[in-house]
Structure 1
Amino acid sequence: MTVYEGKLKSQFKAKLLRPAKPGCDDQWSFVLLPKDASAKLPRRGRTTVDGTINGYLFQETLEPDGQRSHWLKVSTTLRKAAGAEVGDTVTLEIAPAKKEPEPEVPADLKQALAATPEALKVWKATTTIARVDWIHWIVSAKQAKTRAKRIADACEMLADGKKRVCCFDPSGFYSKALSAPDVAEP
C-alpha cells in the first residue's frame, strides 16, 4: 500500500481525542480531519483512505461528521503502532484508497437479501460505494424497529431495481443523523 502522490494527498497534524461515550471498547480514540483535507476526498460520506499516522501505514474508512468533513476512528492497535497516546498531536498523511474495499454485509441484511432473490440480484449489480451507502443507512438506525424497517424497505427498493438508497444523506449534513463523537473532557 502506498499513499497517493500529488493533489489528492493531504498532510496535516491533529490531536488524538477520546470520545465522551466510547461504548464497550473504551480504548479507541479519534481525529477530526481539517476541512481542506476532507475537501480533497471524492465524497462527503464514508470514504476509505490509505494513509500514515506518525509514519505508520494504514487503510481505514473515514466517517462523515455532518459538517461536510470527516473523522477517523483510531483503534488501540493503530494508536500504539503509531507510538501515540490520547492527547498527543499526530502527523497524518491521507489519500483516497485506489479501490474502495467491499463492505461487510450485516447478518440481518444478508439474510433478508437471500430471502429476496430480485433484491439480491440488483444488490450484486450495484457499485461498492452504493453498497456502502445502503449498509450505512441501515446501521445508522438508532432503534431495532427502525433498522428492521430499513432492511425491509431496502429489499423492496432493490427488488424494484433501485441501485441507490433514495432517502439517505450519507454526509449527515442535511439530516444531522451522522456526526463525529463528542470529545471527552480531559
Structure 2
Amino acid sequence: METECRFQAELLQPVSPGESSSWLFVVLPKDVSDTLPRRGRTTVEGLLNGHAFQVTLEPDGKLSHWLKVGKELQQAAGVAAGDSVTLEIRPVEKEPEPEVPGDLQQALAANPEARSSWEATTTIARVDWIHWIVSAKQAKTRVKRINDACNMLAEGKKRVCCFDTSGFYSKALRAPEHA
C-alpha cells in the first residue's frame, strides 16, 4: 500500500452545491495527489481532524484531486467552511466496486454481450466507464455515451477510449468553484 500523507487544508464551500448545500470540499496539494495511484477517481481512507472516513477523490482538472466532505463528517469533526483541518489519507488496498447508475444498469441488462464484457473488466475500468458517462454535461450526451459504451463493450473493448480521466487535457473535470 502507498504511504500515508498528512497535510493541512482549508474547508471550502462550493458556489453551486447542487441539490444539497451541506457539503464542503478540500483541494489536495499537488504533491499529495502525486503520491496516489492514479490521476482519475481514486478511493482513499483516512482521518479528518482524527475522524475516520473513506471517500472517492475526484480529479480537479489540474493533475490533482479534490475531496468532498459530507455533513456527517463535518459534524463528527466539529468543522465548518473556512476552517483549517488536518487530513491523513492513503489509497485503499482494493478499489471498491462503483455504484452503477440505473440507466447504465438497464442498458447493460438489455445487451448481454456488453454485460458480459462489463463483468469481465477490472473495477478500475468500470470506474472509468461510469466516470465517462456521468461526466456528460447534457442528458443527450449521457444517453449517447451509454449507447456508445454498450456498443464498445459488446465489441469486446475493456476500457473506455479517448477519455482523459484527470480532466487535464479536456478540462471536462474540475474541482468546484468555491465561495
TM-score by length of 1: 0.95
Please list, as runs of the form range in 1=range in 2, the aligned pairs for 1:73-92 lying within 5 A after superposition: 73-92=68-87
CA contact (8 A) 1:52 1:93 kept: yes
Q: CA deviation at 1:130?
A: 0.3
What do the CA deviations read for 1:37-75 (whole angstroms, capped 9, x no partner)? 100000000000011000001100000000000000000
Q: Are 1:46 and 2:10 matched, yes or no?
A: no
1:34 CA drift (Å) = 0.4
* Equivalence map 1:72-151=2 (5 Å): 72-151=67-146
| Alpha-carbon distance in 2 for matches of 1:165, 1:61 | 19
1:6-62 superposed Cα distances (whole Å, 9 cap, x missing partner): x62110000000001011101110001001110000000000001100000110000
Q: Deviations over 1:90-137 (max 9, x none)?
A: 000000011111000000000000100000000000000000000000
Letter in 1 for 2:79: A
Q: Matched residues in 2 for 1:146 and 1:30: separation? A: 27
RMSD (Å), alpha carbons: 0.8
- TM-score scaled by structure 2? 0.98
Q: Is residue 2:61 matched to residue 1:66? A: yes
The one-letter amino acid paired with 1:124 is E
SS of match in other structure, 2:52: strand
How far apart, in 2, do the equivalents of 1:19 and 1:95 lie?
Answer: 24
Match of 1:8 in 2: 3
**SS of equivalent residue, structure 1 residue 92:** strand
CA shift for structure 1 position 172: 0.2
User: Which runs of 5 or more residues in structure 2 are unaligned?
Assistant: none
Question: Which residue type is aligned with residue 72 of structure 1?
Answer: L
Gaps of 5+ in 1: none
